[in-house]
Amino acid sequence: MADAAVEFLLENLKQLLLHHAQLIKDAKGQVEQLQENVGFFKSFLKKVSSKKLRKDDTLKELVRDIRGVIYDADDVIDAFVTQAAEKKTHGYFSKLFNASNGLSLIDVAEKVNAICSRITQIYGGKDKFDLVNLANANDGPDEDALQPTPSRKDNVVGLKDEADKIVGYLNASTSYLDVISIIGMPGLGKTTLAGKIYHDPDIKYEFPTRIWVYVSQEFVVKEVFLSILRQMVTNLNEEDYIKKSASALADEISGALEAGKFLLVMDDVWEPTDWEKLRVCLPKHNVTGKVMITSRQVGVGRYANRFREPHHLRNLNLQESVELLQWEVFSKPEFPSELDGVGREIAENCDGLPLAIVVIGGVLATKVLRSVAAWEKVSSSVTTFLQYDPQNRMDKIISLSYEKLPYHLKECFLYLGMFPEDFEIPAWKLIRMWIAEGLIQPQDGLSMEEIAEYNLDDLINRNLVRVEKLKADGRVKSCRIHDMLREFCRVEGGKDRENFLQEIKQSSDGGLQPSVVEGEKHRRLCIHSHVVDFLNKNPRGPYVRSFVTFAEDIELPTDKISAITAAFKLLRVLEAKPLKFSKLPSDFYQLIHLRYLALSMKLDSNSKASILPKAFNKLWNIQTLVVDTTSRALEIKADVMSMTQLRHLKTNACTTLAKPGKDSKEGEKLQSLGTMSPESCTEAVFDRARNLKKLGIRGKLSLFLDSKSGSFDSLRKLSNLEKLKLLNDVFPKAASDGKLDGLPPAYKFPVKLRSLTLLNTFLDWSHMSILGSLEKLQVLKLKDNAFVGKSWKVDERGFDALEVLHIGRTDLSIWMASAHHFPSLRRLELHNCEKLKEVPLALADIPKLEYLDLQRCKEANASAKLLKAKKGGATFTLSIFPAEA
């Protein structure tokens, strides 16, 4: 794992020499010498693959020492950059090599030279340049090279009898609200089985309203209820619901579930007392709905339903174990003849635990482990775990999988331990945090985001991460990690020799564990509850690079914000969105190493808009800036275009930017920008942000679309723009007052546009023909009142490339369309189309159509059912909410 740190330090030294020449003019020679030696480490690590490290304890110890000294160098440089920036003193970096107190760079340089000498001794006295050449020589296949792991779909093998029994319970009529519980030990497949049933086409049809929530050991009742409501209410107004109590939310859910059949899954309920807290949201009179829970404890199931014993999930039998392993490794139910014997032996020794089988399958699926000898070694390891440590065999199997990960994936995997248990992790967030931490190594011809996304896909294909949601284009939108795998990341990352991460948790006596003193040595801290209590202890983390919290929403006093700044001066990642900042103290801008910042701004009662002051420009290292606000507007007084490293700016409000400086050419790294005010979407901004891939605009769109004074024509300059959101907001006027006269002609839209979202534009349906002319458009989301009018007859040209169509709140009554209008359509969503009489039956003839979702479209429900009957087949899904009695 040291190689990622080496790459990051080399880039740090490069930036130091490039951008801070004046600061280091007295130490330039020493810095260049350090850069050369660190480059030697890079060559050495390139030679030492993961395979060699596993076999040689001497090399393993050496690599640990390299990582330690690299961390030291990184910390010393960043600390002095911070101090030099504060003092603004030329030549200040001479002190790097002459520190009177603490570690100086001369100490680090001596450690580096000592390690260089050890390396040359190991390789028979060869000097550095001989070893660099040796590292670059052909040394056979490199298992650590970036190469694809075969992609595999989730495989649910065996347990058909188990699933049939649960489905039988779901289909049975009862005189009470039935609760079906699935009980079993960790790794037995409770969630997998529940998911298989939940996604079964017959179950989807039988229960049009289906809701799935994750509970976990340290759940917050209100958050669970909010999760349920998000799945029940289209365009849920988060701000309004967050203000409500858990009891009020429970009453709202209970009332909504009183009508019609529903299936509610509560996954991973730990204690009977937890069920007691959750059951209050269930309807009191509707007996046609069903609740399914998974738990490790039989007591939970018995407490939830006194009329039936919980369903105890069995282990897979030998044949099922073999078949699951075959599918995981080869995507078919057979082994190559030479691997059949050893493959069956591995499957048998997994003791019927599905999680063990899929994790081992992820190890064996890599191309470098397809020999009989390699499989026999894995088999021997698994056998040893079973014979000598059966209680901890699952941990050992996860450890085996971890040890066989390529070096570029190990730290990426451990970083998942920073997120709460059962947390749905947005892929974009994880990817950008990885990049900010320096865990992603550059590759020629690929952006850092592309490489990070590749790494995530690799972890998924190795069965270490589970896909939760997919985007319309099939890429990962969000993911989860099994709680046993998360616990491994937490424990492995917290070891003294790693110091990779530490989770701060509340102990049984009400205190926080570990103590603040114990946390000083770790490089990453996460805390998901009692944040203020933690900050009250005035923690000190001089080596901490990530501080992550997904705690409950609270307003953070200014002095507690200053406590973060004082404690963690070298932060690169600050994820603090649940914490509401009313004001940022001046010392916050001392965090000049921040590369990823996510925060929430609470609007001052005397202000009309939240403000990010000019001082934000001091945070010149920021790559990703995420700002949520309780205000409808955000004013950024800092010149974000001059922030040379900025790649992503994401807000939830109409955001006004400061005018960019005339002479500046920065902005080329910007990839996503949203949501900007129309006034800020100027030709000058687009000239500098030519590499934008995503753009969101919110405000009075007529200003932006005006053919004379608007700047829509400038969008054509964004040759890489793929995703565009146009959100019309004329508040405080009524939304209908913002009605647009029309859309620009198709040739004025960006040439690569794949996804378009419109909101409150109140366009006439006749303008849809313009959007049909966008040749690459695959996703079209017409949110509330994007188009209005009683009738829409689709233009003969149609939408050739469109795969996803969402139509939100509208007064549309008659929709005339045929299959040839939407030849590529896969997914159709109709929400709050209360006047729509029917879904065009001819759409059933679209070969690729696989999903139809109706929410609050009562008059069209009958036609949707006819369409499903005409469509037929097990691959088509119809979802209707609210369910009909």
- Which pair of tokens denotes residue 162? 């188990």
Query: Element (H or E) spanning 625, and its range?
Result: strand 624-629
Give percent of the chain with pLDDT exceeding 70. 84
Confidence class of residue 138 from pLDDT cuts 50, 70 and 90?
Answer: very low
Q: Are residues 372 and 244 in the same domain?
A: no
Confidence class of residue 250 from pLDDT cuts 50, 70 and 90?
Answer: very high
Residue range 533-539: mean pLDDT, rounded: 87
The answer to whether residue 144 is domain-embedded is: no
Cβ burial, residue 412 (10 Å; 0-12/13-18/19+): buried
Q: Helix, strand, or coil here: 227?
A: helix
CATH of residue 476's domain is 1.10.10.10
Q: Is the per-residue pLDDT at 820 higher than 90?
A: yes
- DSSP conformation class of 96: G
pLDDT of residue 140: 42
Q: Is the per-residue pLDDT at 497 higher than 70?
A: no
Higher-pLDDT residue of 370, 128: 370
Cβ 844 vs Cβ 822: under 8 Å: no
Sign of CA dihedral 518, 522, 526, 532: positive
Q: Helix, strand, or coil here: 234?
A: coil
Average pLDDT, the chain: 85
Cβ 122 vs Cβ 59: under 8 Å: yes
- Distance, in Å, from the CA atom of 738 to the CA atom of 56, rounded to the nearest integer, reads 70
Q: Tell which residue, 595, 593, 636, 634, has the closest CA to residue 615.
A: 636
Confidence class of residue 858 from pLDDT cuts 50, 70 and 90?
Answer: very high
| Residue 853, amino acid | D
Strands 502-506 and 512-513: antiparallel
Of the listed ranges 459-463, 526-530, 638-642, 657-661, the least confidently predicted one is 657-661
CATH of residue 184's domain is 3.40.50.300
Dihedral (C-alpha) 695, 696, 698, 700: value to the nearest 10 degrees?
Answer: 40
Of 387, 403, 419, the position where a domain reaches its end is: 403
Q: Is the per-residue pLDDT at 133 higher than 60?
A: no
pLDDT (tens digit per residue) in 321-338: 999 999 888 888 899 999
Count of structural domains within the chain? 4
| Residue 500, amino acid | F
Domain ranges, residue 193? 160-312
- Distance, in Å, from the CA atom of 596 to the CA atom of 646, rounded to the nearest integer, reads 10
pLDDT of residue 73: 77
Q: Are residues 19 and 89 in the same domain?
A: yes
Q: Tell which residue, 606, 599, 704, 714, has the closest CA to residue 652.
A: 599
The answer to whether residue 125 is domain-embedded is: yes
Confidence class of residue 364 from pLDDT cuts 50, 70 and 90?
Answer: confident
Q: Is the per-residue pLDDT at 508 higher than 60?
A: yes
The answer to whether residue 74 is domain-embedded is: yes
Strand partners of residue 814: 791
Cβ 177 vs Cβ 305: under 8 Å: no
CATH of residue 384's domain is 1.10.8
Strand partners of residue 626: 598, 650
Q: Is the per-residue pLDDT at 834 higher than 90?
A: yes
pLDDT of residue 530: 87
Q: Are residues 419 and 351 in the same domain?
A: no
Residue 112 phi, psi dihedral angles, 5° rounding: -60, -45
Q: Are residues 379 and 268 in the same domain?
A: no
- Distance, in Å, from the CA atom of 442 to the CA atom of 63, rounded to the nearest integer, reads 21
Residue range 89-110: mean pLDDT, rounded: 53
Of 487, 521, 546, the position where a domain reaches its end is: 487
Those residues whose C-beta lies under 8 Å from the C-beta of residue 706, and which sit 6 or more positions away, are: none
Q: Is the per-residue pLDDT at 94 higher than 80?
A: no
- DSSP conformation class of 337: G
- Which pair of tokens denotes residue 185? 């030990």
Q: Is the per-residue pLDDT at 271 higher than 80?
A: yes
Q: Are residues 307 and 335 in the same domain?
A: no
- Distance, in Å, from the CA atom of 790 to the CA atom of 813, rounded to the nearest integer, reads 5
3-state secondary structure 371-436: CHHHHHHHHHHHHHHHHHCHHHHHHHHHHHHHHCCCHHHHHHHHHHHHCCCCCCEEHHHHHHHHHH
The answer to whether residue 108 is domain-embedded is: yes
Confidence class of residue 142 from pLDDT cuts 50, 70 and 90?
Answer: very low
Of 487, 519, 546, the position where a domain reaches its end is: 487
Q: Are residues 29 and 106 in the same domain?
A: yes
The answer to whether residue 439 is domain-embedded is: yes
Q: Are residues 369 and 465 in the same domain?
A: no
Phi-psi region of 323 (alpha: psi -120 to 50; beta: other; left: phi over 0): alpha
- Distance, in Å, from the CA atom of 879 to the CA atom of 440, rounded to the nearest integer, reads 40
Q: Are residues 290 and 173 in the same domain?
A: yes
Query: Element (H or E) spanning 359, and its range?
Result: helix 354-364
pLDDT of residue 101: 45
Q: Are residues 332 and 281 in the same domain?
A: no
The answer to whether residue 40 is domain-embedded is: yes
Q: Tell which residue, 397, 387, 576, 574, has the closest CA to residue 484.
A: 397
pLDDT (tens digit per residue) in 665-720: 678 899 999 899 999 999 889 988 999 999 999 999 998 998 777 789 999 889 99
- Distance, in Å, from the CA atom of 23 to the CA atom of 25, rounded to the nearest integer, reads 6
Q: CA-based angle 333:336:341, to the nearest 5?
A: 90
Sign of CA dihedral 173, 177, 183, 187: positive
Higher-pLDDT residue of 856, 90: 856
pLDDT of residue 56: 67
| Residue 331, amino acid | S
pLDDT of residue 155: 61
Q: Tell which residue, 112, 87, 119, 85, has the closest CA to residue 97.
A: 112
Residue range 843-850: mean pLDDT, rounded: 95
Q: Are residues 197 and 126 in the same domain?
A: no
Q: Tell which residue, 411, 403, 424, has the closest CA to residue 481.
A: 424
Strand partners of residue 569: none
What does 738-764 look like in DSSP terms, one character per residue? Answer: G--S----GGGS-TT--EEEEES--EE
Q: Among the ranges 2-6, 65-69, 439-443, which has the highest mean pLDDT value?
A: 439-443
Q: Helix, strand, or coil here: 319?
A: helix
The answer to whether residue 531 is domain-embedded is: no
| Residue 198, amino acid | Y
The answer to whether residue 322 is domain-embedded is: yes
Q: Are residues 359 and 307 in the same domain?
A: no
Q: Are residues 177 and 244 in the same domain?
A: yes
Tell how far CA 252 is from the center of its chain: 29
pLDDT of residue 712: 92
Q: Is the per-residue pLDDT at 811 higher than 90?
A: yes
Q: Among the ranges 21-35, 590-604, 653-667, which has the highest mean pLDDT value?
A: 590-604
- Distance, in Å, from the CA atom of 722 to the CA atom of 285, rounded to the nearest integer, reads 49
Cβ 858 vs Cβ 832: under 8 Å: no
- Distance, in Å, from the CA atom of 642 to the CA atom of 664, rounded to the nearest integer, reads 7
Q: What is the pTM of this model?
A: 0.86
Give percent of the chain with pLDDT exceeding 90. 47
Cβ 810 vs Cβ 785: under 8 Å: yes
